[in-house]
Structure 1
Amino acid sequence: MLPVNPVLGIVLAALLLAAAAVAALARLAGPDGRGYARAVVTAGLRAAVQLAAVSYLIGWVVRAVPLLLGFVALMFGVAVWTAGRRVTRNRTWWWAALPVGAGVVPVVAVLLVTGLVPLKGLALIPVSGILIGGALTATVLAGRRALDELRTRHGEVEAGMALGLLVREARLEIARPAASDALLPGLDQTRTVGLVTLPGAFVGMLLGGASPVMAGAVQLFVLVALVAVQVVAVALVLELVARGLLHRDGGPAGHRVG
């Protein structure tokens, strides 16, 4: 669909620099005060390097099942690290493996067992990547929103405990609405598919020569599977936060938030 030539590189560089410039002018920054302008450039450069490497690597790993499974495991590990470190900087980050894996692993297993997805790289890697990416996004959004809410409304948590609620129950009452908002992007994408956007799987299959009906069926599967994976991820992140297993350190004497 796009020619790979110097013009493409120039356009991509211009878009990346424009995005960084807008982020700098608008002073977009995270909770720690770090501006996102540099992060935009870094993310774009990393994406270019990683996609170039993966493009060559996929052609090699699809030749053997052990290599294929190892590559999927690598995708999972990177997702857990990224999600966990986005939610918290302390040692509890590794708990992100549970929400990322709990939805993805059963779905992929069912697809392999039923034969809907063959144990071949050109099929398994894209499907696994889409699902792992969706679980990563839901885990990050739910975890950050839940912990931010508990930090802001810690007095209400204490009030709930004073009324007789257990710590887990008091945290759930405060964190649940905020964490649940992590489902909105996936739900909105599913609701508006075909009316507002034509997602990548649908367009890709059409460009590959598939019929519109087949492309629509594949895209429907991807969207429904993503919603299922993200619901599981959000539910488990909320439970981990409520139980204090996934938390942040802050406040006096290392007071745990979440």
Structure 2
Amino acid sequence: MDSTASRVALVVVVTVSVAAAVAVNALGSLGHGWAALRASGRALVQLLVVALVIAAVLDSRPLMLAFVALMVSVASLTAARRLTQDRSGAWAALPVVAGALPALALVLVTGLVPFEGVAVVPIGGILIGGAMTATVLAGRRSLDALASRRGEYEAALSVGLTSRDAALLVARDDAALALVPGLDQTRTVGLVTLPGAFVGMLLGGASPIDAAAVQLVVLVELLMVQSVAVVVVVELVARGWLGRSVPRVGR
């Protein structure tokens, strides 16, 4: 297929897919039709911008580090907006940073990933994105659990537990469900899905063994990243530092 035909096919596939997503949302009364359209539009603009600047980022270590910092900032802001509307949302940066940056530092310090933009940016993006997703899911589940199971929380307070311990007792199990997608992806890799790092390396000319090794590292790092993010965000919610809009009683 020549380049012109490829571009036409790309436009057709993207247009049909976005239209289908919006239509299904509308027909199913899911309430996210416009959100799907806006998200698709943002993805288009952001990917075009990234395509224009990525060469400079990959060739410059200062710009590479700045781009990683931008990814962390955007992930933190996105998580904060999903969890709360007040200033406590600033705490959402902590689980993102605590989860993603040590994992990225580990593969850099050991030399497994070279300190170059072509490696740091994609690997960092995967880890930061995983931390963001875990933060949002665990945070939402924690806050929802404290709101819907208020009686259990107050009962725990009545038998002498502190506010933190009572909140952990109610919210921790629900928050831990945020780890299920990552666990399932790791369990079924190669049998159900071939994740992006594996496919990308194959398309780039790497051997299947090398691609599998890199994908294994990414998957186990994501498990670590998401576990840390979940533990941190649950602790923040339990202490009342994140999502203060949820009423708290007791000590």
Q: TM-score range by the shorter chain?
A: over 0.9
Structure 2 residue 132 is the aligned partner of structure 1 residue 130 = no
Task: Quote the offset at 1:230 in angstroms.
Answer: 0.2
SS at match of 2:85: coil
Task: Quote the offset at 1:2 in angstroms.
Answer: 10
1:84–1:93: 8 Å Cα contact kept in structure 2?
Answer: yes
Q: Which runs of 4+ in 1 moved over 2 A?
A: 1-4
C-alpha change, 1:25 and 1:248, in structure 2 (3 Å) is farther
In structure 1, what residue type is equivalent to 2:18? L
What TM-score results when the alignment is normalised by the length of structure 2? 0.95
Match of 1:216 in 2: 212
In structure 1, what residue type is equivalent to 2:45? V
Match of 1:18 in 2: 20
Structure 2 residue 202 is the aligned partner of structure 1 residue 206 = yes
SS at match of 2:59: coil
Match of 1:172 in 2: 168
1:111–1:117: 8 Å Cα contact kept in structure 2?
Answer: yes
What TM-score results when the alignment is normalised by the length of structure 1? 0.92
Measure the CA separation in 1 of the matches of 2:2 and 2:103: 32
SS at match of 1:44: helix
Match of 1:247 in 2: 243
SS at match of 1:164: coil
Q: Deviations over 1:167-203 (max 9, x none)?
A: 1111111101110000000000000001111111111
1:89–1:248: 8 Å Cα contact kept in structure 2?
Answer: no
Measure the CA separation in 1 of the matches of 2:128 and 2:100: 6
Match of 1:155 in 2: 151
1:147–1:248: 8 Å Cα contact kept in structure 2?
Answer: no
Aligned counterpart in structure 1 of residue 48 of structure 2, from 25, 47, 52: 52
C-alpha change, 1:2 and 1:91, in structure 2 (3 Å) is farther
C-alpha change, 1:2 and 1:219, in structure 2 (3 Å) is farther
In structure 2, what residue type is equivalent to 1:11? V
Aligned counterpart in structure 2 of residue 73 of structure 1, from 69, 75, 78: 69
% of aligned pairs identical? 58
Q: Deviations over 1:55-92 (max 9, x none)?
A: 11110122221111011100100000001111111111
Measure the CA separation in 2 of the matches of 1:2 and 1:189: 35
Q: Deviations over 1:199-257 (max 9, x none)?
A: 1111111111111111110100000000000000000011001110011426xxxx459
Match of 2:191 in 1: 195
Aligned counterpart in structure 1 of residue 227 of structure 2, from 222, 227, 231: 231
C-alpha RMSD of the superposition: 1.6
Gaps of 5+ in 2: none
Q: RCO (CA 8 Å, sep 6+): is it higher in 1 or 2?
A: 2
Aligned residues: 247
SS at match of 2:15: helix
